[in-house]
Amino acid sequence: MSITLFLAATQIDPWTWFFLVLAVGMALSFEFVNGFHDTANAVATVIYTNTLNPVPAVVWSGIWNLIGVLTASGAVAFGIIALLPVELVLNIGSVAGFAMVFSLLASAIIWNVGTWWVGLPASSSHTLIGSIMGVGLANAMMSPLHSVTTGVNWAKAQEVGLSLLISPVVGFVCAGGLLLISKLLIKNEALYRSPEGKTPPPLWIRGVLMVTCTGVSFAHGSNDGQKGMGLIMLILVGILPGMYALKMDATQPELQQVVEAADVLNGVFAEQSEGNLPDEKNATVILSDYIKADGQLTTTTYGALDAICTDLITRLKDVQSFENVPQEDRGQIRSDLFLLQKALKKLEGESILDRPEISEASQTLQQGGKKLTDHIPTWVKVSVALALGLGTMIGWKRIVVTVGEKIGKTHLTYAQGAAAELTAMSTILVADHMGLPVSTTHVLSSGIAGTMAANRSGLQKDTLRNILLAWVLTLPVCIFMGAMLFAFAVNAISLLGLK
């Protein structure tokens, strides 16, 4: 099939395809730059201690990043998306949606490259979250219908912020404690020496460091790799909803389970609406407003829930698979499921869900809806993993030198490297299980600092001050850049005549 016929078949104009390719390319570029910072931390100890040469270390780390990405649950990916304003998530293919993607990615890439250039282990998680918040705030300020309080999902932002704030403290304390415990239990002095020239450590120490490097690489892929995956899926869903809005291989029982739950809730919502039944278009607007932080529950809200449930039942009743659903309907089904999940989550605690059968139907619809919408194709995972690995190959050296020589006043020992990486691996995997993003960079660098403090090696105040400064500045700088770039992008794309 020629390019012209393909474009005609998908009914997307060339400009939109251009922006699609550009947006996905920028998302992969973000992960490529992420490799400069975060994956470089995973290989820092094995390279610095001469356990492996740089090329095999990076390749090995890349393989385990790939495995981590491929086995990721996707919880972190869609947790990041939850920070975005509802109207932009629902209308990603609009001018504002395009502007959102370009501005938040450009902001994150600019800050990551800048901090990498000066050798600072800055946080890609902080960077992306700050950019998202900037976009949300700018979108709210540019619209007369929204306030700053609704520009960002502040409840989710608080949850993510706490994970980013607490994880470095955990890294510092646990890595330092682990080093002290190892000194009590393992008396072999070779473990507590610093590398000498190009001489590799004893074989058993190399084995320990290989295991910790592997663990950090896997954990990094399973957590950090999801951020780029989530953004790519947001782009694909918005521009190609017929192909990516839903999990196309969902089974007929999975579909009907959602339909049955919606049918149970439908009657309850109709009773509570007291006759205030909006049409489908107005129902979407009403629910979008309700799921925001300041949204109020009214009889009209119940009417909107009834309308969305009815629409979902109509589109999915007796459907064997999503292949039987017209392409033009798939994006609307995803929107219905998204709104119902968020609204039902907010309804928890209300008396309407007190009855066991109603509460069970609510949980079934929420969980079933996630299964049908929160999916990530294998090619997206592989692309992100490759971008991370390539980024590591290009930019590992600056971060390795900082981690190995510039945090403490003495050079890193084998035991310190192993303790810091073991702590980082464990912290990241726990956060991944909870669906929370954490910074590999901050956890590992704080872990190194913790081992230096526990070893009474002393800390280089200049390096710590610079790392702390980058940590403090990342959010406000990226919020500002994200907001400014969003305002510019909205106007620029509008001038091109896109809607």
- 54-64 pLDDT, tens digit per residue, is 788 878 887 88
Written as six digits, the tokens of 487 are 């305002």
381 with 424, same domain: the answer is yes
Domain boundary among 373, 402, 425: 373
Q: Which residue in 234, 224, 220 sits closest to 375, CA to CA?
A: 234
Q: Name the pLDDT band for 403 (thresholds 50, 70, 90).
A: low
- Domain for residue 8, yes or no? no
Torsions phi, psi for 11 (to 5 deg): 55, 40
3-state helix, strand, coil in the chain (%, to 5): 80, 0, 20
Written as six digits, the tokens of 303 are 């009417």
Range of the domain at 469: 17-239+376-495
Q: Name the pLDDT band for 350 (thresholds 50, 70, 90).
A: confident
232 with 258, same domain: the answer is no
209 with 233, same domain: the answer is yes
CA-to-CA dists, residue 63 to 21, 57, 424, 451, angstroms: 26, 10, 18, 28
**84 Cβ partners below 8 Å, 6+ apart?**
100, 132, 135, 136, 153, 234
108 with 232, same domain: the answer is yes
Q: What integer is the mean pLDDT of 1-29?
A: 68
Q: How many domains does the chain have?
A: 2
Written as six digits, the tokens of 199 are 């001489």
111 with 99, same domain: the answer is yes
- Domain for residue 290, yes or no? yes
- Domain for residue 222, yes or no? yes
- Domain for residue 354, yes or no? yes
306 with 400, same domain: the answer is no
Give the model's pLDDT for residue 1.
40
Domain boundary among 373, 394, 420: 373
Are the CB atoms for 373 and 246 separated by under 8 Å? yes
Name the average pLDDT for the chain.
Answer: 80
281 with 199, same domain: the answer is no
Give the model's pLDDT for residue 38.
66
- Domain for residue 3, yes or no? no
Torsions phi, psi for 408 (to 5 deg): -100, 165
403 with 367, same domain: the answer is no
158 with 217, same domain: the answer is yes
Highest mean pLDDT among 399-413, 434-448, 451-465: 434-448
Domain boundary among 354, 373, 392: 373
- Domain for residue 6, yes or no? no
267 with 151, same domain: the answer is no
Q: What integer is the mean pLDDT of 318-324?
A: 88
- 200-214 pLDDT, tens digit per residue, is 888 888 899 899 989
DSSP 94: S
In total, the chain counts a number of residues equal to 499
- Domain for residue 143, yes or no? yes
DSSP 226: H
- Domain for residue 35, yes or no? yes
Sign of the Cα pseudo-torsion (358, 359, 363, 369, in order): positive
Say whether pLDDT at 7 is over 50. Answer: no
Give the model's pLDDT for residue 8.
44
Give the model's pLDDT for residue 464.
66
How large is the angle between the packed helices 225-239 and 124-142, nearest 10 degrees?
A: 30
139 with 262, same domain: the answer is no
43 with 167, same domain: the answer is yes
